[in-house]
């Protein structure tokens, strides 16, 4: 059986093909395209090919699998995979040689490959998030231009920004200057309205998201993002603590012997979901719903001892574990008391 490795790059990728004993049969570069990968790997017998997890790794893996090969998408943070490679002399050839050795010797840690359905949802949510960011930046520009001319935009929601602008009796010249930005914001709001409707419909039709939305502070965007990012509870062995660590919501630690030192949260993993969980925690903190009463009481007590910011982050960590437990056990919020009593 042959073994292969590909060091993926945007335009041209380095590859190596050889045998289990380390004999190299072919090495070189090819374009990072389906046609080029078909040219290099299409006519070869089934082989095991190793790739590092990256932006391009999934479509490349799927294409190579369609050619009949076994593909391993490896975690690039697994240091033993690179053997004795020196960081002082780093080349594509050396990287590919290290990946080839890892492939033939089995020295790698496979990365989790997200399902096609969740990958599509991630892309849909990413585009919506980008539209939200564009609107926020545009409103900031609008406020700045108005302030420079001695005017202020009335407070209110982003969805009504054009209506709020109409409330200001601006000079004709300034209205003309702001006309393109006003049109842009109007179009953005229409796009976001359509995107939000699609997200709400998707959340309603998805059992996992529908169940997660029974938790306080959790709406369609948080529920769908949580499911899309984590993909499958089984990948964490059913352990809610591992899931919250993956989301970067656990304290960093630098301990040795009798010394125990914990710091700020690690902020590892996807920052977008972490930010959404923090926003959901603020919703619980400020809310008055009976469903969030226990969590709110717990967070307020913690804030009295450690401060509000620490309490909100701790609440986000607890919420992530509750949502994970709800997903794992397929139970709604409050179905069992242990959801609320997960350790912070």
DSSP string, 22-85: S-EEEEEEEESSHHHHHHHHTTSPPEEEEEE-STTHHHHHHHHHHTT-EEEEE-TT-GGGGTT-
pLDDT of 214 higher than 50 = yes
Query: pLDDT digit string (tens) for 221-270?
Result: 999 999 999 999 999 999 999 999 999 999 888 777 777 788 889 998 89
209-to-53, 115, 290, 298 alpha-carbon distances in Å: 27, 16, 21, 25
Strands in 70-74's sheet, in edge-to-edge order, are 24-31, 12-18, 2-7, 47-52, 70-74
Task: Give the model's pLDDT for residue 340.
Answer: 45
Task: Give the model's pLDDT for residue 259.
Answer: 76
Q: Name the band, by pLDDT with cuts 50, 70 and 90, for residue 89.
A: confident
Rounded CA gap, 134 and 126, in Å?
A: 12
Cβ–Cβ under 8 Å, residues 220 and 121: no
Mean pLDDT of 76-95: 82
Least confident range of 53-62, 159-168, 275-284, 331-340? 331-340
Q: What are phi and psi of 74, to 5 degrees?
A: -100, 150
Rounded CA gap, 44 and 38, in Å?
A: 10
Furthest CA-CA distance within the chain = 79
**What does the CA dihedral 105, 107, 109, 110 come to, rounded to 10 degrees?**
-20
Question: Of 310, 284, 286, 287, nearest to 222 (Cα)?
Answer: 284
Task: Give the model's pLDDT for residue 255.
Answer: 77
Instruction: For the chain, give every domain's residue range.
Output: 2-105, 116-205, 208-339
Choices 3.30.420.40, 3.40.50.150, 3.60.20.10, 1.20.1070.10: CATH for 2-105: 3.30.420.40
Query: pLDDT digit string (tens) for 18-68?
Result: 999 999 999 999 999 999 999 999 999 999 999 999 999 999 999 999 999
Task: Give the model's pLDDT for residue 84.
Answer: 67
323-to-121, 209, 215, 316 alpha-carbon distances in Å: 18, 10, 8, 10
% of residues, the chain, pLDDT over 70: 96
Mean pLDDT of 3-13: 97
Task: Give the model's pLDDT for residue 344.
Answer: 43
State both tokens at 2: 């042959």
Task: Give the model's pLDDT for residue 85.
Answer: 64
pLDDT of 343 higher than 70 = no
SS3 256: strand
Mean pLDDT of 75-104: 87
């Amino acid at each position: 059986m042959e073994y292969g490795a590909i060091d993926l790059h945007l335009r041209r990728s380095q590859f190596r093909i050889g045998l289990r004993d380390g004999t190299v049969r072919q090495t070189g570069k090819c374009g990072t395209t389906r046609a080029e990968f078909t040219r290099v790997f299409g006519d070869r017998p089934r082989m095991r090919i190793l790739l590092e997890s990256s932006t391009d790794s999934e479509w490349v893996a799927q294409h190579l699998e369609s050619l009949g090969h076994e593909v391993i998408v490896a975690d690039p943070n697994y240091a033993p995979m690179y053997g004795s490679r020196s960081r002082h002399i780093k080349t594509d050839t050396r990287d590919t040689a290290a990946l080839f050795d890892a492939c033939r010797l089995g020295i790698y840690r496979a990365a989790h490959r997200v399902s096609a359905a969740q990958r599509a949802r991630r892309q849909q949510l990413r585009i919506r998030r980008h539209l939200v960011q564009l609107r926020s930046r545009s409103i900031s520009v609008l406020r700045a231009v108005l302030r420079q001319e001695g005017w202020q935009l009335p407070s209110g929601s982003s969805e009504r920004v054009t209506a709020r602008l109409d409330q200001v009796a601006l000079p004709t010249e300034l209205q003309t200057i702001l006309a393109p930005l006003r049109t842009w914001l109007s179009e953005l709001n229409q796009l976001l309205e359509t995107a939000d409707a699609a997200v709400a419909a998707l959340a309603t039709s998805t059992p996992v998201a529908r169940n997660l939305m029974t938790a306080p502070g959790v709406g369609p965007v948080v529920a769908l993002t949580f499911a899309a990012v984590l993909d499958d509870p089984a990948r964490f062995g059913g352990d809610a603590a591992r899931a919250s660590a993956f989301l970067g919501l656990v304290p960093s630690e630098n301990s040795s012997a009798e010394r125990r030192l914990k710091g700020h949260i690690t902020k590892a993993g996807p920052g977008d979901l972490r930010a959404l969980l923090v926003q959901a925690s603020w919703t619980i903190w400020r809310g008055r719903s009976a469903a969030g009463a226990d969590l709110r009481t717990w967070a307020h007590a913690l804030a009295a001892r450690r401060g509000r910011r620490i309490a909100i982050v701790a609440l986000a960590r607890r919420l992530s574990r509750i949502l994970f437990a709800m997903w794992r056990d397929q139970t709604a919020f409050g179905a069992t008391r242990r959801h609320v009593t997960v350790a912070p």
